[in-house]
């Protein structure tokens, strides 16, 4: 009976519209990706940011329709005081919402499947996304029942979105994960903290049960068990929320022991196994810079993809490069970052400047000159200061071998930040 009532809920066409919006949001996250399972999971969960409040608005409209007028009188006079009717409306909206979400999860993961070469979807995070959808529906159901009115659906959507944004932006650190709208760039260098996602899901579940219990308290009939349900739900949500906020590591576990670089080619280019489907693109994008570095003091034994910062140093003799995605002018940006890190002491990039002096030419006028040559930047001369233009023109007029010889001969000046225009005479 309860399920039959749920399936009769008038949510089909609005749910199809919301599903389309969620697909649009997810697809924008999947544009020019690296093709990893974690990116697909992140895109699916990200759709909750919009889909959740919209399904909440739909729930507010549906619950508001039974909370006023003659229908409310019938609830009060029914044998169970309207508990089943209220749950039926909630379940009807939840079924459509979860069906939309699960269909989206399947779509985005099927898109990535041909490229995904390592790991697996973030199942716990996807489960948390499903529960957060149910939570939004419960929140809208509560608001529609308490404040039935024409504007309630719109206000419910705004309220739910605002709460999501507040939790995400006001907490910082692990506390941001308390928000159903929490999103995270998927850095495959570090394993995802599955434990914190379990507590996030329990936090959402506790709030969902608490919202439904609050609705039941506004119905007639015995309230003792309803208070018990509300108390246990609030307690469970509170404990889970505390464990999320108190996590010492946050979304990631800071370790790189769960993967090993996969190397190929000559010169050897080493990438994360999750990026294997993009190897040819990455190698081709690096080729101009690696050819310029060959035969100089800045050449590496191999070139390794690494995360930036913590635990991002390459192996001995290797040079690090970084890449987050293949959107926009990603190839020249990747080459530029590699070269400027090479010229920056303490950048954890490897190379002769790793233990250089306190100065750096990485982003100075003459650094722009060298970076422009090493990355085949057609606008190199425009990035050089006017007082260095004569030296820059002289350098650019040399053949490749002379440039390489000069680069090796002036390594110490480059790494100490002491390079001047006179160094080109």
Note whether 367 and 343 are within 8 A (CB): yes
Whether residue 68 lies inside any domain: the answer is: yes
For the cut 90, the answer to whether the pLDDT of residue 184 exceeds it is no
Do 281 and 151 have their domain in common?
A: no
Tokens for 133?
């959808």
Question: Which among 356, 388, 354, 349 is positioned nearest to 369, based on CA atoms?
Answer: 388
In the listed set 214, 245, 276, which residue is the last one of a domain according to the structure?
245
pLDDT tens-digit readout, 113-156: 998 888 899 999 999 999 999 999 999 999 988 888 889 899 99
Which residue(s) pair with 264 in the sheet?
A: 269
Range of the domain at 49: 2-245
pLDDT tens-digit readout, 232-246: 999 999 999 999 998
Write the DSSP assignment of 149-205 as a string of letters: STTHHHHHHHHHHHHHHHHHHHS-GGGGGGSTT------TTS-B-HHHHHHHHHHHH
Given pLDDT bands bounded at 50, 70 and 90, which one contains residue 77?
Answer: very low
Question: Token match 């018990």: residue?
Answer: 228
Whether residue 316 lies inside any domain: the answer is: yes
pLDDT number for residue 224: 83
Percent over 90 (pLDDT), the chain: 46
Tokens for 58?
């739909």
Burial class (CB in 10 A: 0-12, 13-18, 19+), 362: buried
Relative to beta strand 319-321, strand 262-264 is unpaired
Question: Please, what is the end-to-end C-alpha distance for the chain in angstroms?
Answer: 90
Do 239 and 324 have their domain in common?
A: no
Do 321 and 181 have their domain in common?
A: no
Relative to beta strand 262-264, strand 269-271 is antiparallel
Do 218 and 307 have their domain in common?
A: no
Do 291 and 204 have their domain in common?
A: no
What torsion do the CA atoms of 158, 161, 164, 169 make, to the nearest 10 degrees?
-90
Given pLDDT bands bounded at 50, 70 and 90, which one contains residue 2?
Answer: very low
Do 112 and 161 have their domain in common?
A: yes
- When pLDDT is averaged across residues 225-233 and rounded to a whole number, the result is 91
- When pLDDT is averaged across residues 87-95 and rounded to a whole number, the result is 86
Those residues whose C-beta lies under 8 Å from the C-beta of residue 383, and which sit 6 or more positions away, are 365, 368, 369, 372, 377
pLDDT number for residue 262: 92
Which run of H or E residues covers position 206?
Answer: helix 194-217
Whether residue 211 lies inside any domain: the answer is: yes
Calculate ∠ Cα 135-14-130, nearest 5°: 30
For the cut 70, the answer to whether the pLDDT of residue 96 exceeds it is yes
Of residues 228 and 71, more confidently modeled: 228
Given pLDDT bands bounded at 50, 70 and 90, which one contains residue 350?
Answer: confident
In the listed set 191, 219, 245, which residue is the last one of a domain according to the structure?
245
pLDDT number for residue 226: 83
Say how many residues make up the chain: 425
Of residues 185 and 155, more confidently modeled: 155
Of residues 308 and 319, more confidently modeled: 319
Do 238 and 372 have their domain in common?
A: no
pLDDT number for residue 407: 92
For residue 85, the tally of other CB atoms under 10 A from its CB is 19
For the cut 50, the answer to whether the pLDDT of residue 335 exceeds it is yes
C-alpha to C-alpha distances, 137 to 60, 148, 169, 197, 235, nearest whole angstrom: 8, 15, 22, 20, 21
Q: Minimum mean pLDDT among 169-173, 183-187, 367-371: which range?
A: 183-187
Calculate ∠ Cα 370-374-375, nearest 5°: 115
Do 282 and 231 have their domain in common?
A: no
**DSSP reduced 3-state for 239:** helix
Whether residue 22 lies inside any domain: the answer is: yes
**DSSP reduced 3-state for 192:** strand
Relative to beta strand 303-305, strand 319-321 is parallel
Do 119 and 186 have their domain in common?
A: yes
Whether residue 256 lies inside any domain: the answer is: no
> Average pLDDT of the chain?
86
For the cut 60, the answer to whether the pLDDT of residue 72 exceeds it is no
Rounded Cα distance, 69 and 226, in Å: 24
Rounded Cα distance, 245 and 262, in Å: 36
Do 267 and 239 have their domain in common?
A: no
Rounded to 5 degrees, φ, ψ at 305 are: -70, 130
For the cut 60, the answer to whether the pLDDT of residue 37 exceeds it is yes
Of residues 72 and 50, more confidently modeled: 50
Whether residue 329 lies inside any domain: the answer is: yes
pLDDT number for residue 208: 96
- When pLDDT is averaged across residues 167-181 and rounded to a whole number, the result is 83
Whether residue 253 lies inside any domain: the answer is: no
Do 232 and 333 have their domain in common?
A: no
Question: Token match 């939004």: residue?
Answer: 136
C-alpha to C-alpha distances, 62 to 5, 11, 15, 137, 272, nearest whole angstrom: 13, 8, 12, 10, 48
Count how many domains the chain has: 2
In the listed set 216, 245, 274, which residue is the last one of a domain according to the structure?
245
Do 231 and 308 have their domain in common?
A: no
Whether residue 336 lies inside any domain: the answer is: yes
């Amino acid at each position: 009976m309860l399920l039959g009532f749920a399936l009769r809920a008038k949510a089909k066409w609005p749910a199809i519209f919301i599903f389309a919006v969620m697909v649009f949001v997810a697809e924008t996250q999947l544009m020019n990706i690296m093709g990893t399972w974690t990116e697909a999971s992140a895109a699916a969960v990200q759709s909750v940011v919009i889909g959740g409040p919209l399904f909440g608005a739909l729930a507010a409209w549906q619950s508001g329709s039974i909370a006023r007028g003659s229908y409310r009188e019938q609830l009060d006079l029914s044998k169970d005081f309207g508990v089943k009717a209220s749950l039926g409306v909630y379940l009807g909206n939840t079924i459509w919402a979860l069906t939309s979400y699960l269909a989206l999860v399947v779509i985005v993961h099927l898109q990535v499947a041909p490229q995904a070469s390592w790991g697996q979807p973030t199942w716990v995070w996807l489960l948390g996304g499903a529960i957060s959808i149910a939570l939004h529906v419960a929140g809208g159901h509560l608001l529609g029942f308490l404040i039935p009115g024409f504007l309630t659906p719109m206000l419910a959507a705004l309220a739910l979105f605002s709460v999501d944004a507040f939790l995400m932006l006001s907490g910082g650190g692990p506390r941001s994960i308390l928000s159903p709208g929490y999103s995270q760039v998927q850095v495959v260098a570090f394993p995802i903290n599955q434990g914190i996602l379990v507590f996030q899901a329990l936090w959402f579940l506790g709030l969902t049960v608490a919202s439904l219990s609050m609705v039941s308290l506004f119905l007639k009939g015995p309230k003792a068990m309803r208070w018990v349900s509300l108390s246990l739900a609030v307690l469970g949500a509170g404990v889970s929320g505390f464990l999320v906020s108190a996590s010492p590591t946050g979304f990631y576990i800071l370790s790189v022991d769960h993967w090993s670089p996969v190397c190929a080619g000559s010169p050897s280019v080493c990438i994360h196994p999750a990026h294997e489907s993009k190897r040819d693109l990455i190698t081709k994008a690096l080729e101009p810079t690696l050819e310029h570095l060959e035969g100089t003091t800045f050449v590496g034994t191999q070139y390794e993809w690494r995360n930036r910062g913590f635990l991002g140093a390459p192996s001995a003799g290797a040079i690090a490069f970084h890449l987050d995605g293949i959107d926009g002018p990603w190839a020249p940006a990747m080459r530029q970052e590699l070269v400027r890190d090479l010229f920056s002491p303490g950048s954890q990039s490897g190379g002769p400047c790793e233990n250089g002096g306190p100065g750096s030419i990485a982003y100075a006028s003459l650094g722009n000159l060298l970076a422009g040559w090493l990355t085949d930047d057609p606008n190199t001369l425009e990035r050089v200061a006017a007082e260095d233009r004569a030296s820059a023109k002289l350098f650019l007029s040399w053949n490749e071998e002379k440039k390489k010889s000069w680069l090796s001969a002036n390594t110490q000046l480059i790494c100490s930040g002491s390079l001047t225009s006179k160094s080109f005479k």
